[in-house]
Structure 1
Amino acid sequence: MLNVLARRTMVAALMTAATLGSMGFQSRDGQDRRVLIINQTGVTMTHFYASNSGQDNWEEDILGSEVLPSGRSIRINIDDGTGACVYDFRARFVDGDVLNRYRINVCEITEYRYTAN
């Protein structure tokens, strides 16, 4: 009896974890907007912005107080709740460089790589 109860509890916990885990990554329209941002520039990224291409201004810095050293990556859920798939990216680096990339379809890609020029 105890083994059956323990198994049921474990199955319920795993199903709950799977449901909660997927809730933060898939929007209401079913599109997965998670993008792995990869920094291979040789310079630490200090700021990263992803703004709906229909906007005139950059949204908040997604990295916040964190940085993204060269050779590292971060997975970001780029979903502003509007259903948009096309975003503009802006990355700022510790050396002062700013790289803007326009019209990135985050519903079609799973990673975006910044490389040294």
Structure 2
Amino acid sequence: MGVMATTSPAVAADRNVKIINKTNTTMIAFYASRSKTSDWEEDILGDDVLEPGESIRINIDDGTGACKFDFLGEFEDGDEVVKNGVDVCKVGEFSFTQ
């Protein structure tokens, strides 16, 4: 499928990021972990999914004051996309695209 990711600037350093699924495949899991950590924490979507064209606003704040996070999106067709070093203090939108 060749999924990619794009970003848009944030209005403020509030760590709220709108995750957008601009692919033709359902996103079944989304993870955000502070950069340079060795695990992905928990699936932020939980039992939910992000259908093609849908979006969700997430407060990506782990309480440490960190701004740099790594994102992992898992898709129904088995594709996984990792984007390292996303600055959630500066990015207001993050899109998974084909």
* TM-score band, normalised by shorter chain: 0.7 to 0.9
Q: 1:97 aligns with which of 67, 79, 91?
A: 79
* 1:41 lines up with 2:23 in the alignment: yes
Using the size of structure 1 for normalisation, the TM-score is 0.72
Alignment deviations for residues 44-102 of structure 1 (CA, whole Å, 9 cap, x no partner): 00000000003111110000000000100000000000110000000000000000000
Indicate the structure with greater helix content: 1
Question: What is the CA deviation profile of residues 7-51 of structure 1, one whole-angstrom value per residue up to 9, with x for unaligned ones?
Answer: xxxxxxxxxxxxxxxxxxxxxxx9400000000111000000000
Letter in 1 for 2:97: T
Q: Percent identity?
A: 54
- For residue 57 of structure 1, give the secondary structure of its aligned residue in structure 2: coil
CA distance in 2, matches of 1:96, 1:31: 33
Moved over 3 A (4+): none
How far apart in 2 are the matches of 1:31 and 1:109? Answer: 8
User: Residue 65 of structure 1 aligns with which residue?
Assistant: 47
Structure showing greater radius of gyration is: 1
The number of residues matched between the two structures is: 87
Gap runs ≥5 in structure 1:
1-29
Indicate the SS of the match to 1:110: strand
1:13 alignment counterpart: none
Q: Which has the higher contact order (CA 8 A, sep 6+)?
A: 2
TM-score (norm 2): 0.86
